[in-house]
Homo-oligomer: A and B are copies of this chain.
Amino acid sequence: MYPDNASVKVSVVDRTNVLCGKSRPGHFDGVATVLIKLFNIILPTRAYFGLKDAQQVAVVDGLIKDFNYPIELIPVETVREDDGLAKSSRNVYLSEDERQQAVELSRSLEMARLAIERGERNPVELVGMMKHHIHENTSGIVDYVEIYSYPELQELVTLKGKVIIALAVKFSKARLIDNAILEAE
């Protein structure tokens, strides 16, 4: 699959230096390379990607558009536990206390959604509110809470159009991520 002497290389030069991509340099170059190979071998008409890794969905969106792949990208909603916690293989590494607290991550996203519904358009206010909520209600350490246009992942002074609100929080033995994508009109 990966010849030693590959003469052509792919670089994802945008949508990668934010969110989890910041701490994974080169990660999406590998994702794009294997997807190009897979797309060319399979010639699919549709490609399904989970929104738990919304940045990956954004990168795949760019890949399909930039390279004119005749593929329909179908983002798949994040599957959640009954209390709202995004399902993840990492959740088993949470202590009992942390598992109780972890619900506050999706709650903070819901709070932001309600605030946007009430008219809030300032990302700094929303991020501050969410960080405060997570800090006050969990023992986790916020890695990031960020808001961008979606799927372009560009910074916004004022929320407008489709946006992503995304967070990563470190608990003692698990780093959890979650996000919400919504329209701010």
Task: Name A62's closest neighbour in chain B (CB-CB).
Answer: B7
CB of A59, distance to nearest CB on chain B (Å):
7
Task: Determine which residue in A5, A8, A15, A41 has the highest number of CB atoms from chain B within 10 A of its CB, and name it.
Answer: A8
Interface residues of A (CB under 8 A from B): 3, 5-16, 32, 36-37, 40-41, 43, 59, 62-63, 65-70, 152
Give the complex CA separation of A37 and B63 in angstroms.
11
- Contact between B70 and A41 (Cβ–Cβ < 8 Å)? yes
> Are B11 and A11 in contact (CB-based, < 8 A)?
yes
Taking the closest CB of chain B, its distance from the CB of A106, in whole angstroms, is 28
Contact B9 A5 (CB under 8 A): no
Counted per complex, copies of this chain come to 2
Bound together, the chains give a CA A69 to CA B56 distance in angstroms of 23
Instruction: Give the distance to chain B from A2, nearest Cβ to Cβ, in Å.
Output: 9
Contacts of A10 in B (CB 8 A): 8-11
Q: Which of B40, B62, B63, B69 contacts A68 (CB 8 A)?
A: B40
Contact A12 B5 (CB under 8 A): no
Chain B residues near A152 (CB-CB < 8 A): 5
Closest to A61 in B: B7
